[in-house]
Structure 1
Amino acid sequence: MSSAGDEAADGWQPSERARARTAFRRAQRRRALLVAGVATALVVAAVGYVVVTAPGWERAREAFFSPERAWEVLPQVAEGLWLNLRVWAVASGVGLVVGMLIAVVRTSRLPVLFPLRLLSVAYVDVFRGVPLLLVLLLVGFGLPALRLTWLPVSAAFLGGLAIVLTYTAFLAELFRAGIESVHPSQVAAARSLGLTRGQTVRRVVLPQAVRNVAAPVASMLVSLQKDSGLISILGAVDAIRAAQIATTGDYNFTPYVVAGLLFLVISIPLTRVVDAWSARQGWRGQLRGVAGAGVVR
């Protein structure tokens, strides 16, 4: 039964003040939408006017926004983007697993893990402090110089390895923050129920830690998707490298625009999904945390 039917059955009707308040709020929303739409249209029109009336607009349009050239290079750039997506998928999976393990080691208090804790601290400090571009150059040119027969030396592998090394350090710090955000009473309650240290970490600490940092981890993975294009500096034929090859000879930079648009087609929906999911988790997660405080599952 509808709410209107319920109101009629109960004999309840909103007061004049309540109806006026609802109408006022609706009018405010409509006014805000109208103002936002007009402001956006004015900004877009102003930017468009500045660009179109620029002295070099005709030449820039031919060099950067050629529809014929864009359609011609689209298959090659799209094939390169497939390499970016594969690097992103592998690096995300490896980074999540290894980052979680490093976070568990860093937060462990077992004396036997002390050497691993030192190594994990050094690893995180180094790869969080060195720029990703420099890591790519050192890994891409340093590892092949060792002439290790068992190590693949393809540009895609070495570039993906450099991205994994850098992003795993950041993911490890996020997971460590999530683990440390779990209240010690949760651990004490789990141990009092007879759970071992390992069972407490696996069944009590990690689920709550992952939930607490799920939103920033998702945002980090979106950034990883964009940075996967940096493997092109090692010679891997990804979307950016394919666009660079296509510009050789005619100096038409439309392939770069095509590569950028393809990255946006992937990153913008991912960003919007992460934002929407984070907004939902924000208040729902708090409600679950309040309702489940002191409860060990």
Structure 2
Amino acid sequence: MTSPSPLATRPPSALELERRAFRRRQSTRSILIAAASTIVFAAAIWLLVINTPGWDAVRRSFLSPDTFVAALPRVWDGFLLNLRVLVVAAIAVAIVGTLVAVVRTLRGPVFFPLRALAAGYTDLFRGLPLIIVLYVVGFGLPGLRITEVRVPAEVWGTIALVLTYSAYVGEVIRGGIEAVHPSQMLAARSLGLSRGQALRRVVMPQAVRKMTPALMNDLVSMQKDVGLISVLGAVDAVRAAQIETARAFDFTPYVVAGLLFVLLAIPTIRLTDWYAARLRRREQSGAAL
């Protein structure tokens, strides 16, 4: 058995003890401030909301337990439709957005028409409100009678989501690609890799780390906007809540739908915050990404 080293058994210095005491005082102070601010916030909520004259009427209209339980199965069935649309749209947006970003980064005059088309696409669909895209796609494209088969409303809603969010995601991916120093591409090309190989094997792995937080924020935004497909008649969570509201004569079903969307978004939001903080710590510490 080896004896402990002198450094391991040496008592901490006076300066180290002072630092530890300071950290303990700071921790205790932070806990007390957090507790006091929580109490003040709860008191403000009670005074400004619960203690108001109209609180009982609002509670009956928006927070009825019986209506909540009765509406939950119907709203949940509609929410499952929102989840299916979200999964399909997220995959399609990732593919289309990547293609748009790659086209916009192409160099050479021969690719000018493609770059101009991609730029026009991103400008158009980033400028149009999503609900207008939903109306144009959901009610305009069926009027062309491209097919005799009736296409469900959720399909048109998915197409509108893909068209809109691919423009945003394409710009995020393009920004991530251009954030990688050009020397990385030049070094890869000097080793004999083609532009496509260099982009796939050298540039994109570095760009993904830079653009992941922004892409996850776009995913959170799309998780909420899938509820807008109800304007096309799809019986999703929002439309189901509207039906149950007309049946129960209060707005509690909308609260049910909103709560389901919040529960869907919270894991993605927390994951985004964790990844952004982790990336920031690595960059500040100088560690390799």
Residue 189 of structure 1: which of 184, 187, 190 is its match?
A: 187
User: Which residue of the partner structure matches residue 133 of structure 2?
Assistant: 135
CA contact (8 A) 2:213 2:272 kept: yes
User: Which residue of the partner structure matches residue 80 of structure 2?
Assistant: 82
User: Which residue of the partner structure matches residue 147 of structure 2?
Assistant: 149
The amino acid of 1:66's aligned partner reads: S
Deviation at 1:46, TM superposition (A): 1.7
CA contact (8 A) 1:80 1:239 kept: yes
Deviation at 1:11, TM superposition (A): 3.4
CA contact (8 A) 1:7 1:13 kept: no
CA contact (8 A) 2:79 2:236 kept: yes
Structure 1 283/52 Cα, relative in aligned 2: closer, same or farther at 3 Å? closer
Deviation at 1:102, TM superposition (A): 0.8
CA contact (8 A) 2:282 2:288 kept: no
User: Which residue of the partner structure matches residue 274 of structure 1?
Assistant: 272
User: Which residue of the partner structure matches residue 33 of structure 1?
Assistant: 31
User: Which residue of the partner structure matches residue 106 of structure 1?
Assistant: 104
User: Which residue of the partner structure matches residue 249 of structure 2?
Assistant: 251
Unaligned runs of 5+ in 2: none
Deviations 1:157-205 (A, max 9, x none): 1111111111100000000001111111111111111111221111111
Deviations 1:68-119 (A, max 9, x none): 1101110111111111111111111111111111111100114443221111
CA contact (8 A) 2:245 2:251 kept: yes
Alignment coverage as a number of residue pairs: 287
Structure 1 250/181 Cα, relative in aligned 2: closer, same or farther at 3 Å? same
Residue 50 of structure 1: which of 43, 48, 51 is its match?
A: 48
**Where does structure 1 differ by over 4 angstroms across 4 or more consecutive aligned residues?**
5-9, 285-288
Residue 165 of structure 1: which of 158, 163, 166 is its match?
A: 163
The amino acid of 2:141's aligned partner reads: L
RMSD: 2.0
Residue 70 of structure 2: which of 69, 72, 76 is its match?
A: 72
The amino acid of 1:187's aligned partner reads: M
Task: Give distance in 1, aligned partners of 2:138 and 2:51.
Answer: 45
Residue 219 of structure 1: which of 217, 220, 223 is its match?
A: 217
Structure 1 211/116 Cα, relative in aligned 2: closer, same or farther at 3 Å? same
Deviations 1:230-284 (A, max 9, x none): 1111111111110000011442111011111111111112211111122112233
CA contact (8 A) 2:62 2:251 kept: yes
CA contact (8 A) 2:216 2:268 kept: no
Task: Give distance in 2, aligned partners of 1:151 and 1:104.
Answer: 35
CA contact (8 A) 2:101 2:174 kept: yes
TM-score relative to the length of structure 2 = 0.93
Task: Give distance in 1, aligned partners of 2:217 and 2:275.
Answer: 11
TM-score relative to the length of structure 1 = 0.91
Structure 1 236/281 Cα, relative in aligned 2: closer, same or farther at 3 Å? same
The amino acid of 1:256's aligned partner reads: Y
Structure 1 79/8 Cα, relative in aligned 2: closer, same or farther at 3 Å? farther
- Give the secondary structure class of the aligned counterpart of 1:167: helix
Unaligned runs of 5+ in 1: 293-297
